[in-house]
Chains A and B, each alone.
Chain A
Amino acid sequence: MGSRASTLLREEEIEEIKKETGFSHSQITRLYSRFTSLDKGENGTLSREDFQRIPELAINPLGDRIINAFFPEGEDQVNFRGFMRTLAHFRPIEDNEKNKNAAVSEPLNSRTNKLLFAFRLYDLDRDDKISRDELLQVLRMMVGVNISDEQLGSIADRTIQEADTNGDNSISFNEFIKVLEKVDVEQKMSIRFLH
């Protein structure tokens, strides 16, 4: 209770996050209040358990993979900065962001970054390749016990066959981009944030 001042966001921090993520001032303060309400330990960071406490996320077949995307390798806490950086991938691409020259570093919500986020869901060991084994594991998460090993195996084989162009029996990020070439990722991986 007494440390109310320290739980508020400083104006400089908001400015920095604004620059980094493109969220508006009011979006940042409101997402901050969401962040603090999820933070049951009240220590300014979220743990995996904090995320799992959201029932709708807990029943999501890929929930654990999505949660994992918030945590840098080997860490089990994420602060507000990191939280916002991950969420920024899902900001819609605005018209004035489309024609920006490539000299400026690519925004977090670009098509490539959105695709990279999806790619990493499958890439369990973060080696920038989706192996047959990794694909099988993620498929198992999605379907549960409802499909036999045999059937799932053939689905994985077929998927890799279709995507793999260099014959290494795995899917690289470039091959992944190719497969999702016609998918409207810009829209399908964007969330309509209000004001």
Chain B
Amino acid sequence: MDSSLSGNKVEMEDFWTFALWALKTWLYLIICLIMIPAMFGFSLGISETYMTILVKTLEWATLNIQKVYAEERTLTASPSNGLIEREDGSMEKELEELRRSRPKSLGSDFTLSDCVYFTRRGIESIVEDEVTQRFTSEELVSWNLLTRTNNDFQYISLKVTLVYGIGIFMRYCILAPLRITLACIGLSWLVIGTSAVGLLPNWSIKFWLSEWVHVMCYRICARGLSATIRYHNKENKPKKGGICVANHTSPIDIVILCNDGCYAMVGQIHGGLMGVIQRAMVRSCPHVWFERAEMKDRHLVTKRLKDHVNDKTKLPILIFPEGTCVNNTSVMMFKKGSFEIGSTIYPVAIKYDPNVGDAFWNSSKYSMVSYLLRMMTSWALVCNVWYLPAMHQQEEEDAVQFAKRVKSAIALRGGLVDLQWDGGLKRAKVKDLFKEEQQKQYSSMVLGDDSSSHSD
């Protein structure tokens, strides 16, 4: 009895020493292979090899899936993923066509067939609309061997299923623990590092150190997401005393951009974990955080941003003027606030590769933590970042027009659809104003005045 108990004890101790040893090796490996390269910004080529293998695997899977589908039915992958082809004519043109059959009567112009135009437009928007589909994950043309795709891909072949199984093991048992460890190290490093740098006096070395700590932490976090980021046109990188505006897909955008340089953040002070990080960061370099109550005061916000921009020693401000996360297929309306400050605007376009992982944060469906876990169990994160040439407000332009111009430039560069719609529609209903505009346009056609000719 006694001896077996002590034997158990020895076994337990053995187990614990082994576990400790395993943990230690694990951490040393992480530090040597990932942390140190991340600190100094070089790469050992491990992630590159992983990416090559991944791309090859996905290509192979696509080929297999297509083969099976081709046998079943003659389903050819259409270039677009749309459900319908829309009629894009203006109201004037369409209604004129409808009325062509009817002799033009004197005075007012209304025919019973006018409703046909509105009906088709309405039904088209029910089948497929420009806005709501931007707030759900993009549908893929081919399956990327992840479970979470909108299309219901079913059993294809034994080989594909096998690879899918190996993929699950890789992602959940090897990559996920590694990535979670990295993310934890990165974030705690950020808090400790920035707090420590914050204690230093305001010498120039402080700024340099602060930037180094920031970039290093973001690099570790980026590795925690297996991010492969390609930066284009680095000569246009945002400079001090300017505002960098980018399209917004998820909070990870910040990690992506900060891998290549530091920015001052603007935003509301959050509670919980985010709050701790925010408070630590502001100690080492001047970010612009607002309390919830202050955020409502537009003048105060503008003034503090202006002060920041006018101080040429401070980092460029990073703003996402869409105000909400969009699924990376389009750019939605830019809020005019950041364009009223009158500083140089540095537009940046960010485009993720949807085939290796869905970067979109659907905040109404997933919490921040569960979103991050989904990201960490995806294949990887591949994205392109384009720095666009600096833009200035032109004399005849107001802030709204300027915002539109910047948005179009970003959409064009990133290969995204340029939408006029407000991203706020994710939660709020559309304003009556837009309906009234439609009614006004139609009325002018009924009354037959010439004012309709220059409504565009």
A contact residues vs B (CB 8 Å cutoff): 8, 26-27, 29-31, 33-34, 37-38, 51-63, 66, 87, 90, 117-118, 121-122, 138-139, 142-147, 151, 154-155, 158-159, 163, 171, 176, 179-185, 188-195
Contact = CB atoms under 8 A, between A and B. Distances in A.
23 contacts: A33-B139, A37-B132, A51-B126, A54-B132, A57-B126, A59-B434, A62-B118, A63-B435, A121-B115, A122-B112, A144-B436, A159-B110, A176-B112, A182-B102, A185-B116, A190-B120, A191-B123, A192-B84, A192-B85, A192-B86, A193-B83, A194-B78, A194-B80
Contact of B113 (A63, A154, A183): A183
Interface string B431-447: 00011111110111011
Given A117-B119, A146-B444, 19 more contacts: A26-B75, A27-B83, A34-B83, A34-B128, A51-B126, A54-B125, A54-B131, A55-B421, A57-B122, A59-B435, A60-B118, A60-B121, A118-B112, A142-B114, A143-B439, A144-B435, A163-B112, A184-B101, A192-B86
Nearest to A121: B115
B446 A194 contact: no
Interface of B: 75, 78, 80, 82-87, 97-98, 101-102, 105, 108, 110-133, 136, 139, 150-152, 421, 425, 429-430, 434-440, 442-444, 446-447
B435 A191 contact: no
A194 B85 contact: yes
B208 to A, nearest CB: 48
B443 A143 contact: yes
A191 B117 CA distance: 12
A188 B120 contact: yes
B439 A61 contact: yes
A87 B126 contact: yes
Given A31-B83, A195-B75, A87 B123 contact: yes
B427 to A, nearest CB: 10
A143 B442 contact: yes
Given A143-B442, A147-B446, A56 B125 contact: yes
Given A55-B425, A56-B130, A66-B119, A8 B436 contact: no
A15 to B, nearest CB: 15
A66 B85 contact: no
Contact of B438 (A30, A33, A61): A61
B115 A62 contact: yes
Nearest to A183: B113
B151 to A, nearest CB: 7
A62 B119 contact: yes
Contact of B112 (A34, A55, A159, A182): A159
Given A34-B128, A54-B125, A66-B122, A118 B115 contact: yes
Contacts of B444: 146
A188 B112 CA distance: 14
Given A37-B136, A54-B132, A59 B430 contact: yes
Nearest to B117: A188
Nearest to A8: B152
Nearest to A51: B126
B443 to A, nearest CB: 4
A66 B101 CA distance: 24
A181 B132 CA distance: 37
A154 B108 CA distance: 9
Nearest to A147: B443
Nearest to B83: A30
Contacts of A154: 108
Contacts of A63: 122, 435
A63 B121 CA distance: 9
A193 B84 contact: yes
A179 B439 contact: no
Contact of A191 (B111, B120, B139): B120
Contacts of B127: 31, 34, 87, 191, 193
Given A54-B125, A191-B124, A194-B83, A118 B116 contact: yes
A57 B101 contact: no
Contacts of A62: 115, 118-119, 122
Nearest to A30: B83
Contacts of B446: 143, 147, 155
A184 B442 CA distance: 21
Nearest to A58: B430
B449 to A, nearest CB: 11
A56 B75 contact: no
